[in-house]
Amino acid sequence: MSYEKLEQLYEGKAKKVFATSDPNVVIVSYKDDATAFNGLKKGTITGKGAINNRMTNNLMRRLEEKGVPTHYVEELSDRETAVKKVSIVPLEVIIRNISAGSFAKRYGVEEGIVFEQPTIEFSYKNDELGDPLMNSYHALALKLATQEEIDTIKAYSFKINEVLKAFLLQHGIELVDFKLEFGKLADGTIVLADEISPDTCRFWDVKTHEKLDKDRFRRDMGGVEDAYQEVMRRIIGE
């Protein structure tokens, strides 16, 4: 189906969102802009927009097949995708399988500890406040979501982890941790939104533990474009 791209509704750090002729569908356009540390570090990762768009769509289609509803509608081009219009639940979900990043720093442990079971964290999606960590009681107190919505989001998050971990392992990638965002359709249905990419996940090579994600940009490690392309090659075969 063809969707006519109308006015721009929003521009974030990594994407632009446009209205379409269908009030229930918007077009997401992925950018090459890269940010870290809540926008304090800025740069460009050449080709990132196209990689993140196509990788997200590929993984969301797989999740749909496994019973996880997403906002995905149709890939329109390398950088643009039609998605269902949602109101984002202002709770970012972080699932961790292995210690890394802020978790390792916060608790004073080394990176690379494999957990017996995954951990889940919520943060309040608010750039001005630096996306502070919160628990479900805080979310309920601030009326960010209902208990039923939180339970649904948690169940989907663990299911997504299960599906992606198994799939990525087949391609020699360890899913260390990742961030998810969920949205509500007009009828209140919770669906997975945003993206699943090296911007929002930590991917390590299963044998060498080489970092294949945005940590290479965050930590000035070099080889950022190569890492994104390598993940794309393994997942999509290009």
Examine the domain organization and report whether 105 and 211 are in the same domain: yes
pLDDT tens column, 58-116: 999 999 999 999 999 999 999 999 999 999 999 999 999 999 999 999 999 999 999 99
Examine the domain organization and report whether 110 and 162 are in the same domain: yes
Domains identified in the chain, total number: 2
Return the structure tokens found at 19.
């209205």
Closest CA to 194 of 71, 22, 39: 71
Q: Which residue type sits at 15?
A: K
Measured CA angle at 88 (ends 115, 27), to 5 deg: 110
Examine the domain organization and report whether 95 and 204 are in the same domain: yes
Region 150-176 average pLDDT: 98
Q: Tell me, what's the pLDDT at 24?
A: 96
Alpha carbons 14 and 24: distance in angstroms, whole number: 22
182 strand-pairing partners: 192
Percent of the chain whose predicted confidence (pLDDT) is above 70: 100
Query: pTM of the entire structure?
Result: 0.95
Examine the domain organization and report whether 112 and 207 are in the same domain: yes
Q: What is the CATH number of the domain that holds 64?
A: 3.30.200.20
Examine the domain organization and report whether 17 and 115 are in the same domain: no
38 compared with 140, residue with greater pLDDT: 140
Alpha carbons 116 and 157: distance in angstroms, whole number: 17
Examine the domain organization and report whether 177 and 188 are in the same domain: yes
Kindly tell me if the per-residue pLDDT of 196 is higher than 70.
yes
Q: Which of 84, 117, 143 is the last residue of a domain?
A: 84
Residue 232 lies in a domain: no
193 strand-pairing partners: 181
For the chain, what is the mean pLDDT? Answer: 96
Q: Tell me, what's the pLDDT at 238?
A: 65
Domain containing residue 17:
5-84
| DSSP per-residue letters across 127-192 | GGGT--EE-HHHHHHTTSS-HHHHHHHHHHHHHHHHHHHHHHHTTTEEEEEEEEEEEE-TT--EEE
Residue 95 lies in a domain: yes
